[in-house]
Structure 1
Amino acid sequence: MSKSEWENNEEIKIFREYLRMPTMHPNVDYTACVEFLKRQAASLELPVDVLYPANESNPVVVMKWLGKQPELPSIILNSHTDVVPVFPDKWTHEPFSADMDDEGRIFARGSQDMKCVGTQYLGAVRALKASGFQPKRTIYLTYVPDEEVGGVLGMRELVKGDYFKKLNVGFSFDEGIASENETYSVYYAERTLWHLKFKITGTAGHGSLLLPKTAGEKLHYIVNKMMEFRASQVKRLAEDSTIDIGDVTTVNLTKLSGGVQSNVVPPLLEVVFDIRVAITVDVVAFEKQIRDWCEEAGGGIELDFEMQNPFVEPTKMDSSNLYWVAFKNALDELGLKTRFRVFPGATDSRYIRHEGIPALGFSPINNTPLLLHDHDEYLRSDTYLHGIGVYKKLIAAVANV
């Protein structure tokens, strides 16, 4: 297709309209986004609810496609409506203009992460309805806020409420990540996310002295231990070609604070680490190891988990999970080359899986530079339209299990 043909394609028009809504943190205004989604639901003749599980500033939009056997567990097609901040001076296109170049590349924040998926679901449902298809199971399209800052005011609250329980969800679709080669990645699990602050107290005094058990000495010990562990994971990743970043535990020092004056030994120093614990690691034993390091450092160290997600069981990928069987068979019938991976970051799927509901993360994007959260984020028009066809096949297969 040419640029003009892509520009006049109705599905591309819908996608670009969605991208032009700057639902960017911080202080997101979702008003226009909700109205857009309500219009889309009306065009598909789907009933729609707008919920506020956390507060009035964070709406959840739910569209319902009634199945022939609504008593069966339902399917949800989940996506998030928020996007991360931009640095406009680093972009060659205005970040919320959805500009298209002559190659059909659409530049906008959210083009990969993950407004593409939200409107591809709509395109797939539109195509299925036009073909006369009605799913066996009821399908819910859920559009949630706050995912990019932890989902605390979005999916986490949604799954706690009676509304969600009444949906009787059996399986969830959610986002994946673009692939830079011909394969497509399917994510069946996520690492356990911790944001861990060490509050390190020690002897205070004059900077000219060699005081015992200072906060600085303890900080040095803790940082060394954490960085030695980090180096072991870097080594493991380098030496084993069968694993990738989602299969190891990542440790990164993200914040360091303390002290009041250059000649005063401070009584308190604080250091924060972002930790993503691999699914093969015993989280209880790992936390104990960290607490043991604190004692070895001299004690007087408090652990403050700014975020401590619980371990969540991976989605089963075997014959016991009929949704997985249908999903995998559909991928095979499409002839797609797939890789099954642990998601390196954190998505709303962790809240779904925590409720005992199987979930798979999948974005039908391949042969595309990985640009989520990056400058000049884009998605090709042909990739976007192909993805609608992929979802059409997957949704029909899973909804008819």
Structure 2
Amino acid sequence: MSSGKWENNEEIKIFREYLRIPSVHPDIDYTSCVKFIKRQADSLKLPVEVVYPAIKSKPVVIIKWAGKQPELPSINLNSHMDVVPVFSERWTHEPFSADMDEEGRIFARGTQDMKSVGTQYLGAIRLLKAGGFQPKRTVYVTFVPDEEIGSTLGMEAFVKTDFYKKMNVGFGLDEGGTSATDVHYLFYAERIRWVLHLKVGGKAGHGSLLLPDTAGVKLNYVLNKLSEFRDSQIQRLKNDQSINLGDVTTVNLTQLSGGVQSNVVPPLLEAIFDMRLPITLDLVAFEKEIRDWCEEAGGGIEIEFPQKDAYVAPTKLDDSNPYWLALKAAIDELGLKIKPIVCFGATDCRFIRQQGTPAIGFSPIINTPVLIHDHDELLKADDYLNGIEVYKKIIPNLTEV
């Protein structure tokens, strides 16, 4: 089999061109992404605007496909332009070359997360327009920055702007998860992210002594408590096959600092933990438990939460949500298998939901090794093109609600 089958496909060309733009953290220059998206809008004969909800270096690009009844709430198809860093020496292909092998596998950072989704939206719109379809509701295709670093200057800021309010979004569609099986994972909610920063104070002195109340001993106590709690969550997953990662709490020590040299007991040690909390967890009780552990350790521990997201209600997947019914009808007609789950990470959907707007994460990537944020991230050309057909069915269903 030869890659020539896909080399001259216009949609594959567009996808690979987008992948070759190294919009990679840190310090991204989004200029090339903006130019690329503007050209795509021009080819679709659709208007495009660029807004800067936070600072000039963080653009949000919006393509508008006007509906026949523009007074109705609109549909927002969102994707992010940024991708995570790469370790080039671990890749078998250059991460931003978009190389395609004989099997049609396209290797590049962003193939799964999530440049594919952004250009698949556009490919579906291209087919729909060519067929003479005009949506009842207006469709906005948004390309946002900085999703991979928390979206503070991206979607989080954008939903607070007058521009977004005038969009009158009734439903949002964003990224889902890659699946190694034939089941699509559909995100209707997301875990709550907390970042815990402990500043552990203690008695300092010579490294040869058995000093009381040292920072190391206190930190070790809290670490043990958090580790025991973490183990309990692992056990929950093992014991209950009906739940997944989005239904438990993850706790991971991600940063440690402190001390000046090996023979000096330090007066301060600091530790940072990444925590992802399920929407069913009692947040007040969980925080109290953390504070109690710090007191039991001997006190003198300063507790900070550099990030402490609030509870956001999940999107309803029942008859009360007409957008869900429309999406489900398209999925059923296409014969797709789906499994609605709570997203174990974080996507920009959470900011849409915070506005009281239903939003769902969905990516048409199945039977593919899950390589999000991993080396040799890839997507097969046929699977990419199939995703365009999937969106070609989903988009009209949502717009006609």
Aligned to 2:395: 395
Is 2:99 the counterpart of 1:103? Answer: no
Is 2:238 the counterpart of 1:207? Answer: no
Aligned to 2:52: 52
Is 2:381 the counterpart of 1:381? Answer: yes
Residue 214 of structure 1 deviates from its aligned partner by: 1.6
Aligned to 1:150: 150
Aligned to 1:84: 84
Is 2:24 the counterpart of 1:11? Answer: no
SS in 2 for 1:199: strand
Percent of residue pairs identical: 67
Is 2:266 the counterpart of 1:266? Answer: yes
Aligned to 1:186: 186
TM-score, normalising length from structure 1? Answer: 0.98
CA RMSD, Structure 1 to Structure 2 (Å)? 1.0
Instruction: For 1:166 and 1:289, locate their aligned partners in 2 and report how far apart those are by CA, in whole Å.
Output: 43
Is 2:89 the counterpart of 1:73? Answer: no
Instruction: For 2:312 and 2:2, locate their aligned partners in 1 and report how far apart those are by CA, in whole Å.
Output: 46
Aligned to 2:26: 26
Opposite residue 89 of structure 2, the aligned amino acid is D
Instruction: For 1:293 and 1:321, locate their aligned partners in 2 and report how far apart those are by CA, in whole Å.
Output: 42
Q: Deviations over 1:162-206 (max 9, x none)?
A: 111111111100001110011111111110011111111112222
Number of equivalences: 401
Residue 210 of structure 1 deviates from its aligned partner by: 2.5
Aligned to 2:299: 299
Aligned to 2:195: 195
Instruction: For 1:350 and 1:221, locate their aligned partners in 2 and report how far apart those are by CA, in whole Å.
Output: 34
Residue 5 of structure 1 deviates from its aligned partner by: 2.5
Instruction: For 1:11 and 1:101, locate their aligned partners in 2 and report how far apart those are by CA, in whole Å.
Output: 17
Instruction: For 1:195 and 1:7, locate their aligned partners in 2 and report how far apart those are by CA, in whole Å.
Output: 45
Aligned to 2:337: 337
Opposite residue 129 of structure 2, the aligned amino acid is K
Residue 263 of structure 1 deviates from its aligned partner by: 2.0
Which sits farther off after the overlay, 90-99 or 115-124?
Answer: 90-99
Q: Deviations over 1:319-349 (max 9, x none)?
A: 1111111111110111001111111111111
Taking the TM superposition and a 5 Å limit, the aligned residue runs for 1:276-355 are 276-355=276-355
Residue 119 of structure 1 deviates from its aligned partner by: 0.2
Residue 237 of structure 1 deviates from its aligned partner by: 0.5
Taking the TM superposition and a 5 Å limit, the aligned residue runs for 1:119-268 are 119-268=119-268
Which sits farther off after the overlay, 57-66 or 290-299?
Answer: 290-299
Instruction: For 1:251 and 1:273, locate their aligned partners in 2 and report how far apart those are by CA, in whole Å.
Output: 7
Q: Deviations over 1:271-299 (max 9, x none)?
A: 11110001110112211111111111111
Gaps of 5+ in 2: none
SS in 1 for 2:246: helix
TM-score, normalising length from structure 2? Answer: 0.98
Residue 2 of structure 1 deviates from its aligned partner by: 5.1
SS in 1 for 2:375: coil
SS in 2 for 1:289: helix
Opposite residue 100 of structure 2, the aligned amino acid is M
Q: Deviations over 1:51-104 (max 9, x none)?
A: 111111111100000111111111100000000111111111111111111111
Opposite residue 157 of structure 1, the aligned amino acid is A
Instruction: For 1:119 and 1:288, locate their aligned partners in 2 and report how far apart those are by CA, in whole Å.
Output: 45
Opposite residue 214 of structure 2, the aligned amino acid is T
Opposite residue 308 of structure 1, the aligned amino acid is K
Instruction: For 1:266 and 1:140, locate their aligned partners in 2 and report how far apart those are by CA, in whole Å.
Output: 55
Instruction: For 1:295 and 1:136, locate their aligned partners in 2 and report how far apart those are by CA, in whole Å.
Output: 59
Instruction: For 1:16 and 1:200, locate their aligned partners in 2 and report how far apart those are by CA, in whole Å.
Output: 49
